[in-house]
């Protein structure tokens, strides 16, 4: 199964028996994750991307699917707290660059860590953050290491983190982290 589908499966399973009202796609890209989230979320989704091509592609996919409860924001996810002032249930990060596009426009360690910190502040207890990292390119390798160090700072009393990768992983294999905010936090 593609690792993006593993992320979708983790989210679908987690919210099978609990409400998913508010969600964030921190990296809209071609809009696949935004459409996926919008299909599961009952009240509102916010989607961020720094590229207008990504925002347009996502807008078109949402329109084709008839999904209207999404606010797309052409800005970096490190600004998410300027746009969202309420708790949310689920936040997806699919880091890296837009496939078949300019590979220099990629997420980077500093802004991703800023965004992740904000994501942990916004997430409801019982909520979930999915975080897909791509160590197979230079910026992605630096970012993945920074993310792994940051994950080690999370308090295990409040967070459970699982990770998923290829069955026979190489150093370049994508890694999915799923962060569950425990209900007693």
Ligand X SMILES: C[S@@+](CC[C@H](N)C(=O)[O-])C[C@H]1O[C@@H](n2cnc3c(N)ncnc32)[C@H](O)[C@@H]1O
Binding site for ligand X (CB under 6 A): 26-33, 48-51, 54, 76-78, 94, 96-98, 105-107, 111
- Please, what is the minimum distance in Å from the beta carbon of residue 147 to ligand X? 14
In the complex with ligand X, which residue's Cβ is closer, 18 or 71?
Answer: 71
- Please, what is the minimum distance in Å from the beta carbon of residue 132 to ligand X? 8
Residue 49 region by backbone torsions, left for phi larger than 0, else alpha for psi between -120 and 50, else beta: beta
In the complex with ligand X, which residue's Cβ is closer, 39 or 160?
Answer: 39
- DSSP E strands in 95-158: the ranges are 123-133
- Please, what is the minimum distance in Å from the beta carbon of residue 129 to ligand X? 14
Q: Tokens 């989704």 correspond to what residue? A: 45
Task: Give the whole-angstrom CA distance, residue 122 versus residue 87.
Answer: 5
Sign of CA dihedral 151, 152, 154, 159: positive
In the complex with ligand X, which residue's Cβ is closer, 32 or 44?
Answer: 32
Q: Give the distance, in angstroms, between the CA of residue 167 and the centroid of all CA atoms in the same chain.
A: 22
In the complex with ligand X, which residue's Cβ is closer, 38 or 98?
Answer: 98
- Please, what is the minimum distance in Å from the beta carbon of residue 166 to ligand X? 17
Q: Are 95 and 140 in contact (CB under 8 A)?
A: yes
């Amino acid at each position: 199964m593609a690792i993006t589908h593993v992320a979708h499966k983790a989210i679908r399973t987690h919210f099978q028996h609990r409400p998913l009202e508010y969600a964030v796609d921190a990296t809209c890209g071609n809009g696949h994750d935004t459409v996926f989230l919008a299909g599961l979320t009952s009240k509102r989704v916010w989607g961020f991307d720094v590229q207008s091509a990504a925002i347009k592609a996502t807008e078109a996919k949402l329109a084709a699917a008839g999904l209207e409860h999404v606010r797309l924001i052409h800005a970096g996810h490190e600004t998410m707290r300027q746009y969202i002032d309420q708790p949310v249930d689920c936040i997806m990060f699919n880091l890296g660059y837009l496939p078949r596009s300019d590979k220099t426009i990629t997420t980077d360690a500093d802004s991703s860590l800023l965004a992740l910190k904000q994501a942990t502040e916004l997430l409801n207890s019982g909520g979930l953050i999915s975080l897909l990292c791509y160590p197979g390119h230079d910026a992605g390798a630096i970012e993945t290491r920074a993310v792994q160090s940051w994950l080690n700072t999370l308090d295990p009393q409040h967070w459970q983190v699982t990770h998923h990768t290829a069955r026979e992983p190489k150093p370049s294999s994508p890694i999915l982290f799923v962060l569950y905010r425990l209900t007693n936090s």
